[in-house]
Structure 1
Amino acid sequence: MPFGCVTLGDKKNYNQPSEVTDRYDLGQVIKTEEFCEIFRAKDKTTGKLHTCKKFQKRDGRKVRKAAKNEIGILKMVKHPNILQLVDVFVTRKEYFIFLELATGREVFDWILDQGYYSERDTSNVVRQVLEAVAYLHSLKIVHRNLKLENLVYYNRLKNSKIVISDFHLAKLENGLIKEPCGTPEYLAPEVVGRQRYGRPVDCWAIGVIMYILLSGNPPFYEEVEEDDYENHDKNLFRKILAGDYEFDSPYWDDISQAAKDLVTRLMEVEQDQRITAEEAISHEWISGNAASDKNIKDGVCAQIEKNFARAKWKKAVRVTTLMKRLRAPEQSGTAAAQSAPGTDTATPGAAGGATAASAAASALGGSATPATAGDATKSENVAPADRSATPATDGSTTPATDGSVTPATDGSITPATDGSVTPATDRSVTPATDGRATPGMEESTVPTTQSSATPAAKAVATPEPALTQPDSTAPGGATGQAPPSSKGEEAAGCAQESRRVETS
């Protein structure tokens, strides 16, 4: 450096847009997601096809953070069962992420097309997922959104490998995590109960995946009336917290005891006692000969078509209120502590200011006896009259600022920078990606609106979840407060003037 020259800071070396177009042909947009657009891209030199995700910086800080998070995680990983990062370009206005293109089918479609399907086929799928997750966990990366929609075959060859996609929610485990996110039916009890969590949540999700692949049914599910999501959601989260699932007949009659044992160990409610991915790989059903060769295709396919074609359990709008409750008690507890500084605060616990039991009760909409102003179970962001919120139902993602939830596009729930969560509106079997398709993500996602908080008036012995049907007329659960009117101001002025006259 010449004498006398002073650097005032490192200048960012941006790519020129021409660098992207000189190397790749970008086709038409094949999917639009909350934070990005998805293109099919062709390398001009090799002719190889890739997937391109384009993030616009002008769309906000959360979009920029989402892109940076996904790039950072993908740069760390290299495994045959994980879609690999191919290229990254950062211009002044955009982020371009180029990924391997998986041309195979989803696992569901593959099963339906088979003439013969057995436990051994399921064991092969689960083994590959476990190996990829064990690798991620060795790097202290938590995927946080493992589900069947994110498992695809790499190509259409007979012996194609399985690859995991969608890393927008992945996070480095630097200490336990507290922000709830993921896809509701795959959420671990510690996430639903607002406890701090880590890598074991991925193992729980693998257990749910294995359960579905062996029976065609989700483990936590009930038949409900059309659009009666309120009762479904109450039972869903309550059952997850209790680990209340069964190997019911006739769907599990032909399934081996070894398979049931591994599901049970993966879906252990206590995260400290849950089997790890590395341990699961050594299980006899994965590495031994315990998986049965019996054809179970007819039973599994019949249930898959019944449960997933209708897609009742995958509706995401109904989850908006539920996931809002996961954050509400913590936020309300903080507000209560600030408004009543003279009171004692609750003893910190696994749930971040409440015991696991009280956290679970709050998550389900019930209240517990308020011990202190800081207790997370004392106050929820729900009015005690109906203890509900009314999220929008149109799938819109109008950003707000208070840490509530906004419907997104793939069924996952993404934490925002303020601790909020964002569910999606279409949790169809076809993967939306990612990708928060879906929110673009990291710890930050779309901020949204949130209903006002009202402390619970009194305690109840048994937590009773109460959720409302989403109301498209009340976005974000906002209550209808009328703005101050000019008449009100005039009245106030008149009252003030009269007081002055009386004083004089």
Structure 2
Amino acid sequence: MSIASSMNNNSLQFFKKYELGKILGTGAFSEVKVAVNRQTREKFAVKIIDKSKCKGKENMIDTEISILSKVHHENIVQLYDLYQIDNKIYLVMELVTGGELFDDIVRRGKYTESDAARIVQKILLAIDYLHGMGIAHRDLKPENLLLSDKSKNGKVMISDFGLSKIFNDEEVMKTACGTPGYVAPEVLKRQGYGKEVDLWSIGVITYILLCGYPPFYDQNNVELYKQILACRYEFEKPWWDNISEDAKGFIRKLLVLDPTKRYTAKQAVNHPFIVLNCGPPPNVVESIPKEISSSSNQNKKKESNVNNKEVSQDYYKNQLSNNNNNSNNQVSSDNNNLAPGVTKKLQQVLSSKKVYIYMNFKYKKTLI
């Protein structure tokens, strides 16, 4: 049964089943609240999208719902239920409480190789699953990777599919989207690209996890893009001196200019850096979830232009404190783990979400 055919009863059905609680976060056209199943007392996160605020961005919403209704993986935030009430869409989703990987990087400064490998392995397994289903994420970055809880063993989970794309092997994607610093060189060339862009982004994320600062950085986007297009990065002394050759070799297999020579997710998850720290990848066949009622069928629309994808929507922020206000203070008080001489760079590039939001917006405009 589609949303349209049941929308008259959806309000009654939703509020009979769920009790809404406090706000977890807000975005440009959505907010996220805690919801409790009245019968089981299980907690969820409900993303409430105001369709009246989504003019020109409907394609992002359709894509996100279409993808979330298809995927089922332990390292991807799961969609459980879907309602339309008046002019709003209610997405009942898995509640994760560990916050963003972004904030954990800022707090810790850098990771041990074993911790970094554990996180990267889970991202690779999820991306291999998505690629196998014909889905490219296209905006992998620490802000879009959530931690299931605040324990040391919390699972990393991929979120925010607003810029994702359902593709086929013959199709070439051309929309310029992503985030500066994480975007693959073939996107900047605007000659078409494929799912390999996700592996480049994972290479950048791995680099940051291991040393605490990004491989490509310049406050001027033009200069930043020149670095990326030339694949110009270094394992700088002394900060990389104690990092293994396996780890460096793993990054070299992902930060490769030619996407046809870049490691696939399957190849990457079997690299010694991952296997020696995490063991061989599990041979798990993911089950397919039951069909979720949705008014959005498989997204067969052509991609809208870059203006319709200006800034990736906030997925949801499991921040019970004011991270945006406190992020600079967090960095200044947690600099003990940072390599001397890169603290300022880390503060400029990683500490302020405002910097990324601004850069993301600027990037989309620059590529038009």
Which TM-score tier does this pair reach, normalised by the shorter chain?
Answer: 0.7 to 0.9
Match of 1:170 among 155, 164, 170: 164
Equivalent residue runs for 1:108-127 within 5 Å: 108-110=102-104, 117-127=111-121
2:245 matched to 1:257?
Answer: yes
Question: Quick one: distance in 1 between partners of 2:109 and 2:359?
Answer: 36
Structure-1 separation of matches of 2:193 and 2:120: 23
Tell me the CA shift for residue 196 of structure 1: 0.9
Provide, for residues 129-175 of structure 1, a one-character-per-residue CA deviation record: whole Å limited to 9, x for no partner. 11111111110100111111222221233422211111111210131
Correspondence 1:200 to 2:196:
yes
With over 3 angstroms needed to count, the CA separation of the structure-2 counterparts of 1:258 and 1:183, relative to structure 1, is same
1:50 Cα deviation after fit: 1.4
Q: Which amino acid aligns with 1:257?
A: E
Matched, 1:103 2:91: no
Q: Say yes or no: does 1:86 pair with 2:127.
A: no
Whether 1:36 and 2:24 are equivalent positions in the alignment is no
Q: Which residue of 2 aligns with 1:324?
A: 365
State the Cα distance separating 1:326 from its structure 2 match.
1.9
Query: Could you tell me how far apart the structure 1 residues matched to 2:213 and 2:367 are?
Result: 26
Higher relative contact order (CA 8 A, sep 6+): 2
| 1:271 counterpart SS class | coil
Give the structure with higher Rg (CA): 1
Residue in structure 1 matching 2:49, options 44, 55, 66: 55
Write out the 4+ residue segments of structure 1 that deviate beyond 6 Å after TM superposition.
112-116, 301-304
Aligned-partner Cα distance in 1 for 2:340–2:33: 35
Q: How many residues align?
A: 305
Give the secondary-structure state (helix, strand or coil) at the position aligned to 2:358: coil
SS at match of 2:154: coil
Task: Give me the whole-angstrom Cα distance separating, in 2, the residues matched to 1:114 and 1:237.
Answer: 28
Contact map agreement 2:180 2:363 (CA 8 A) in 1: no
Partner of 1:18: 12
Matched-pair identity in %? 37
Note the 1:403-414 alignment, pairs <5 A: none
Return the alpha-carbon distance in structure 2 between the equivalents of residues 74 and 168 of structure 1.
10
Are positions 1:283 and 2:271 aligned together? Answer: yes
Asked whether the 8 Å contact 1:143–1:169 carries over to 2, the reply is: yes
Once residues 151 and 190 of structure 1 are traced to their aligned partners in structure 2, the CA distance between those partners, rounded to angstroms, is 23
SS of the residue corresponding to residue 16 of structure 1 reads helix
The alpha-carbon deviation at position 289 of structure 1 amounts to: 5.4
> What corresponds to 1:272 in structure 2?
260
Relative to structure 1, is the Cα distance of residues 157 and 11 closer, same or farther in structure 2, using a 3 angstrom cutoff? closer
User: Residue 236 of structure 1: SS of its match in structure 2?
Assistant: helix
Matched, 1:221 2:217: yes
Q: Distance in 2 between matches of 1:315 and 1:30?
A: 21
Residue type of the alignment partner of 1:177: M
Look up the equivalent residue of 2:364 and give its one-letter code.
Answer: M
Residues 216 and 228 in structure 2, CA contact (< 8 A), matched pair in contact too: yes
Which residue is equivalent to 1:146?
140
- SS of 2:73's equivalent in the other structure is coil
Deviation at 1:254, TM superposition (A): 0.9
TM-score after normalising by structure 1? 0.56
Take 2:10 and 2:143, find their aligned partners in 1: how far apart are those partners? 35
User: Is contact 1:215–1:299 with CA below 8 Å preserved after alignment?
Assistant: no
2:340 and 2:69 map into 1 onto residues whose CA distance is 41
Distance (whole Å) between structure 2 residues aligned to residue 298 and residue 83 of structure 1: 32
Structure 2 gap segments, 5+ residues each? 280-334
**For 1:108 and 1:298, how far apart are their aligned partners in 2?**
17
TM score, norm. by length of structure 2: 0.75
Is 1:180 the counterpart of 2:180 in the alignment? Answer: no
